[in-house]
A and B are shown apart, each in its own frame.
Chain A
């Protein structure tokens, strides 16, 4: 703890801003009607200690942006009830043209969805979260991501604005106060479950809602459902006729993700049970990792309106994979290199990384025959995985598919010691958000199946990437409101969002063995 002594200088110097300007118009897409009093934001990620400058269009939709620096800017436009059109200018490069004119910013009307959520007797509809879901491909399967969301008020009314045109499902989640089950005297145990419009438990039965630009769709009423909880039970059958393993993890993971149950497992007879499960679709995973009896199984199950019992789950032996690492001479002893097989789908379990011994050979096991990415983890910040070879041929994006009968059981890891460090700070972070930094290889043609390096940004805006393969990168800093419960980091690690994202990155070159320090502005997550 330290005391402070304050000395003030009385001179006042106003902040200096740039000499450049940009002019343009904001109009509505389609009829070209001018949009008055739209907010136009100029954000220059590449400029150290820059700020986001805002301007307001006049009654004719015209704007003049001043005090800009001679650098590249990304441009965002906001007006309640309108969304940026895909045909809107999103960037302005003032490094060569310091007085840019003719910027055409277009907005398209946003849609509004509204309705009422009703609830079982005794529950309260206020505070239900209502989400407009769009389908995205992530984690090896279709999942849902909220495109917009709202919260129901008293009486269950909800109103969700700023919805882009598209096709969606609507889902309501009960308020936290409803997260318990009820049992009336002599009756079954009931649970208020999330539901999909028009009032079903499964997304497979939900009705797609087609939303046109600017539409106002009212009357989208549906109910949260009070459902009985059911029992799921069965037996684990060990592979090769062995008796049931003494230890087995049996999980139920909901689809879409969000809920996970772990079973009670009885080693004496290999039986398992989940006593109280809400209806829906699940992945049942069973993994045993005993030294003499190990295997795994995955199965998709659907619980509708009754217990699911007598499930026989046969464990299959995992695929052993021998890794041989070629280590650089400069790899320090104790550099703590660990290797892991990371599943690309959620139908299996993550495994703990395994330490690479000094002879560079280690055996891992692919539980569940799925696709995996080989990953390296190390304490030495300059080491990274340069390539993974199977029979002398490099594996693209370090991905191997163990559902194929010809999948390799021996892999060679080429580990390099000229990795770089990229560290920096992100500014413009809202105080109520999660934040992540992402590195995207600037050669976008090689993105397919790649895993993008992501890292959380600390509350004071700092982040650090280590073991970065040398090369050119696009760096982004994203923030996500805390109210958005979607697990963003896995989505950012997959490159699917990159081609359509319009925000401006910072371009960085990571030279071999270098440490690069950067500062950039954060932007809303894709």
Chain B
């Protein structure tokens, strides 16, 4: 707390609260129920915390709460009017993901009644971590990875739960949402240590998936069930040869780029990476990364100087095998600007609902994948940078029942095709919408959860990655909407199947035509399907 010297005091302005009548406090009551059995939950903490701007150095506002009684009911008093965050807590339970939006509410001067909150029993993952000698590892950091769907789009690998080992190498990850997980350990206290070997390469302990693999596609998958404990999960932390990656960053003229930093991330589409032990850069552009295990990586150089508020960065994919990698050159070049326009045949469009994006296709890596909203006049402009194949993605629809009929740039049809980014398009993009979108409603035949991938039936229109992806609910139900009329293949895999786990390269299955479920959509129609979950693809 600092004292402003000779601060000016305007008494009338200083103490308005003395004269104003504060609004009467309100109350809130409701019930907390088990999300599966719907039984009332006693001894649950329910707190209401006023959402205010925090002053640095001061504790946040205290929440006012109550504890549910034997019938799951709570009653909270003395709530000042305002916006609140509701905090609900009971050991071994958590708020279902779909309910988190309901935990913010506005309280006025009248009582808030009949609130209903659900708590979901959580699971526990437990186990132990040892090193390559079988000795327990204390202080290893554990993460449980589960694939979820973000904003209805293709799934991302995220880590929502973690823990650490004790001095005996044991861990317990509690409060885990039911689902299927990969579990991964990393040694924190000596992650930057390199171990020389006699006559061999340097080695280091690296992030390891249960039971003892660096490759998430080979890792064991563990099912966390509500109210149950899963384990023991045994992880043997791997010590593997590590190598150096050296190179140079140059700007478009070949000159030094100025101060910058470099980082590495896994080329797998999984939200983790093993940070190399050391990262050194020089303003003349030379860089060196030490302690990099073999594998596919994306190296990113980030320039210190800022341009238009954005920090320029340059990314590229590299492969590290059994030796150091020398002579990597990252070259900055002018960005690619894509302009275009959208049109709709028929209905009146609301272009504010439409967003156009340029995304990497296949194994391409972009420094910045651009996304921008279409303007009211139907035009748009994107700026992106990267190398390799790119594709146009259109998110949202200008009117109900419309679909993307075509995406062209001059004579090139990009509707289901990628284009080489560094060459640009050569012509503005034209995106045409039409009315008469079709949809698919379906479920898996076993009524189990799955990831459902959609490909065009025409092999010539087929890209390695699916046209669309949908996650089923717990009972296996899914839907696709806003589809162009035509024929498609549906292909369902278990949620944690390696293909569904977000692998960047998704080969269209060789037997898609035999094992996938074909669907023919007419204009404006909705088809119902039941499809099998294909195992072991």
A residues sitting closer than 8 Å to B (CB atoms) are: 1-9, 11-15, 17, 37, 39, 41, 49, 51-56, 66-67, 78, 80-81, 112, 121-126, 150, 153-154, 159, 161-162, 177-185, 191, 246-247, 249, 251, 259-260, 262, 266-268, 276, 287, 289-291, 294, 349-352, 354, 365, 367, 427-428, 430-432, 460
Contacts and interface: CB of A to CB of B under 8 A. Distances in A.
Contacts of A352: 2-5
- Of B193, B243, B333, the most chain A CB neighbours within 10 A belong to B193
Interface string B312-324: 1111111000011
A6 B299 CA distance: 10
A336 to B, nearest CB: 17
B314 A4 contact: yes
B336 A80 contact: no
Contact of A161 (B166, B290, B326, B328): B166
A428 B32 CA distance: 48
A182 B190 contact: no
A427 B385 contact: no
Given A289-B5, A354-B5, A55 B195 contact: yes
Interface in B310-352: 310, 312-318, 323-336
B324 A12 contact: yes
B330 A3 contact: no
A189 to B, nearest CB: 8
B278 A427 contact: yes
B90 A124 contact: yes
Nearest to B167: A161
Contacts of B325: 8, 12
Given A2-B334, A5-B331, A14-B324, A124 B192 contact: no
A37 B135 contact: yes
B196 A53 contact: yes
17 contacts: A2-B252, A3-B422, A5-B333, A6-B328, A6-B329, A14-B243, A66-B198, A80-B137, A80-B169, A112-B167, A161-B167, A177-B45, A180-B62, A182-B65, A266-B18, A352-B2, A428-B277
Interface residues of B, number: 104
- Of B44, B138, B167, B330, the most chain A CB neighbours within 10 A belong to B167
B284 to A, nearest CB: 14
Interface in B180-212: 188-196, 198, 201-202
B27 to A, nearest CB: 11
Given A56-B195, A123-B45, A2 B332 contact: yes
Interface of B: 1-7, 9, 11, 14-15, 18, 43-45, 47, 49, 57-59, 62-67, 75-78, 87, 89-92, 124, 133, 135-138, 166-169, 172, 174, 188-196, 198, 201-202, 243-244, 252, 261, 275, 277-280, 288, 290-291, 310, 312-318, 323-336, 365, 367-368, 370, 383-387, 421-422
Given A54-B193, A154-B92, A267-B11, A3 B334 contact: yes
A181 B313 CA distance: 47
Nearest to B263: A460
Contacts of B336: 3
A503 B87 CA distance: 44
Nearest to B175: A126
A194 B223 CA distance: 37
A290 B9 contact: yes
B250 to A, nearest CB: 10
Given A2-B332, A2-B367, A185-B75, A124 B167 contact: no
Nearest to B365: A4
B384 A1 contact: yes
B62 A289 contact: no
Given A1-B367, A126-B91, A184-B66, A460 B261 contact: yes
A12 B294 CA distance: 13
A11 B326 contact: yes
Contact of A431 (B11, B59, B135, B275): B275
Given A4-B333, A11-B327, A80-B136, 19 more contacts: A1-B313, A2-B313, A2-B385, A6-B387, A14-B323, A49-B280, A51-B278, A80-B138, A122-B67, A180-B87, A181-B64, A182-B45, A184-B67, A247-B14, A262-B1, A262-B58, A352-B5, A354-B5, A427-B279
Contacts of B190: 39, 41, 52, 54, 78
B251 to A, nearest CB: 8
Contacts of A9: 326-328
Given A2-B335, A3-B335, A15-B202, A350 B318 contact: no
Contact of A350 (B2, B7, B49, B261): B2
Nearest to B314: A4
A52 B290 CA distance: 11
Contacts of B64: 180-183
Contacts of B368: 1
B367 A260 contact: no
A350 B196 contact: no
A177 B387 contact: no
Contact of A80 (B124, B167, B280, B370): B167
A80 B138 CA distance: 6
A181 B78 CA distance: 11
A354 B1 CA distance: 16
A8 B328 contact: yes
A51 B291 contact: yes
A478 to B, nearest CB: 14
B77 A52 contact: no
A6 B317 contact: yes
B3 A124 contact: no
A52 B244 contact: no
B174 A54 contact: no
A367 B367 CA distance: 54
Contacts of B5: 289, 351-352, 354, 365
Contacts of A178: 45, 89
A179 B45 CA distance: 11
A150 B168 CA distance: 14
